[in-house]
Amino acid sequence: MDDSLLGGAHKIVIVGGGAAGLELASALGKKARKDASIEVTLVDASPTHIWKPLLHEVAAGTLDTTEELEYLSQARWRYFNFRLGTMERLDREKKEIVLSPTLNDEGEELIPRRSFSYDTLVIAVGSVSNSFAIQGVEKHCQFLDNARQAFRFQKHLVQTFMRIYSRRPSRGKGMSIAIIGAGATGVELAAELHNVMQQLAIYGLDEHQTGEAVKISLIEAADRLLPALPDRLSGATARQLGELGIELILGRRVVEVTETGVMIEGGEKVTADIKVWAAGIKGPDWLCNLDGLEINSAQQLMVAETLQTTRDENIFAIGDCAACAWVGHEGNVPPRAQAAHQQATLLSKSLVDRVKGEALMPYRYKDYGSLVSLGKYSTVGNLMGNLMGSVSVGGFIARVFYLSLYKMHQIKVHGYFKTAMLTLATRLRKTATSHIKLH
């Protein structure tokens, strides 16, 4: 039996309520309701949650607002405590985390700096874009690391659109967007933005005419897009994007981003009104100095197969911020929602077992394949199974599997009934409102 029980419930603090942390807090909270030996607290920098793989839809303005969840309401519904704040420091000896003061939009302090003690700490703070120190990226690019950035991007998109098409004659030079990085995020964003540009014209925003070109360029250092997927699928996706008129610049490295465009090796410039960076991720910078916890070169916390950090058995890390060996493969478990989901599922069992003095179970990543949504145009990907190996899928079947990953997250967080009701509500709203955000 754990010592902490002598002084009351064992305090499990989870920092980061994303794909991994929110699922874990919801599952553990449900258990804590019946088991007084554990108390669960979730800390997040934001008061609301949007599942990160939907951020390209937030950025494009196509996401329904019912997909946003309030942590406080979820905490009440799933019996955990929620604390708003950004973790900035860790004291392993005192077993305490420190949160920065929370400010309002005017910069006034709402909540002072405060600390919370833990018996078990789970760090699930996700990842941020890796600019690889390329000049001009931080200053001139848009990022999709969190919902705040995605909403800001959406506003910038509509405002840039209005500015350009209200000033240029309708047959003049149109708007241009460059997306750097043709992994799943870049490809999904390109397709979604293409759809949105058509919609903005249909809704009659300023003088933009349907069919008038908004130039979207997708720039990738590897010689094909979707490098993580089989050749055949990246070929099919390239053809589909080509048919939409999206320019693909493959096998070319970006060397600088300026206010007016993207410089690629060889001296060529891709002119762009909007530049988006989607070329790789790393752990947030503050993890580099977290009271001696070990990190890898991508600033992710190194964890053992039990998901415990290598230098502190009371601290776990899951999701994108964790570097966990992919047993039987080279390298680490990839930073994906399905890995975050699996790790949260494992810890929701093993953390409770650990409080009861039982041994921790090892984590084994199961790759069920990768699916990429091309918005309303198509979905492509490959599915993995024990018997069938890797099977390429597209169209309706791929769409169903793509949506099922999000439904699994929703079911874990809300349960079956509420997920069904939310799905219905989203469908009904779509019949009564515009399909995109127009402001």
Ligand X SMILES: Cc1cc2nc3c(=O)[nH]c(=O)nc-3n(C[C@H](O)[C@H](O)[C@H](O)COP(=O)(O)OP(=O)(O)OC[C@H]3O[C@@H](n4cnc5c(N)ncnc54)[C@H](O)[C@@H]3O)c2cc1C
Q: CB of residue 280 vs ligand X: minimum separation in angstroms? A: 11
By CB under 6 A, is residue 61 in contact with ligand X?
no
Q: Which is nearer to ligand X, 53 or 375 (CB)?
A: 53
Work out which of 4, 11, 12, 16 binds ligand X, going by CB under 6 A.
16
Contact 13, 121 (CB under 8 A): yes
CB 310, min distance to ligand X, A: 18
User: Segment contacting ligand X (CB under 6 A): 110-118, 204-212, 245-253, 332-340?
Assistant: 332-340
From CA 314, how far away is CA 354, in angstroms rounded?
10
| Binding of residue 19 to ligand X (CB under 6 A) | yes
Q: Any idea what DSSP says for residue 47? A: S
**Residues paired with residue 249 on neighbouring β-strands, in sequence order:** 219
Q: What is the 3-state secondary structure (H, E, C) of 381-410?
A: EEEEECCCEEEEEEHHHHHHHHHHHHHHHH
Report d(CA 143, CA 149) in Å as an integer. Answer: 6
What is the distance, to the nearest Å, from the Cα of residue 378 to the centroid of all Cα atoms in its chain?
21
Is 190 a binder of ligand X (CB under 6 A)?
no
d(CA 342, CA 362): 12
Mask: binding to ligand X, 64-83, rule CB under 6 A, as x and -? --------------------
Q: Which amino acid is at 195?
A: N
Q: Does 337 bind ligand X (CB under 6 A)?
A: yes
Among 26, 120, 185, 199, binds ligand X (CB under 6 A): 185
Residue 271 dihedral angles phi and psi, to the nearest 5°:
-70, 135
Backbone torsions φ then ψ of 105, nearest 5 degrees: -60, -25
Residue 216 interacts with ligand X (CB under 6 A): yes or no: no
Segment near ligand X (CB under 6 A); pick from 165-173, 180-188, 256-264, 305-313? 180-188
List, in sequence order, every residue forming a beta bridge with 390; answer none if it has no partner: 384
Find the part of the chain contacting ligand X (CB under 6 A) among 38-46, 101-109, 220-228, 388-396: 38-46
**Sign for the pseudo-dihedral over CA of 426, 383, 348, 117:** negative
Name the minimum Å distance from CB 352 to ligand X: 20
Q: Which of 136, 261, 335, 394 binds ligand X (CB under 6 A)?
A: 335
Nearer to ligand X, 261 or 284 (CB): 284
Q: Quote the least distance from Cβ 43 to ligand X, whole Å.
A: 5
Residues 95-154 that bind ligand X (CB under 6 A): 124-126, 144, 146
Residue 286 Cβ, how far from ligand X at the closest point, in Å?
6
Using alpha carbons, select from 280, 357, 345 the residue that is nearest to residue 307.
Answer: 345
Q: Which is nearer to ligand X, 352 or 398 (CB)?
A: 398
The dihedrals phi and psi of 60, each to the nearest 5 degrees, come to -85, -15
336 lies in the site for ligand X, by CB under 6 A: yes
**Cα(first)–Cα(last) distance of the chain, in Å?**
56
**Shortest Cβ distance from residue 146 to ligand X (Å)?**
6
User: Which listed range, 2-10, 40-48, 72-80, 266-274, lies at the site for ligand X (CB under 6 A)?
Assistant: 40-48
Nearest Cα to Cα of residue 20 among 328, 234, 335: 335
3-class SS of residue 135 = strand
SS3 421: helix
Binding site for ligand X (CB under 6 A): 15-21, 43-46, 49, 52-53, 55-56, 86-87, 124-126, 144, 146, 184-185, 188, 284, 319-321, 335-338, 340
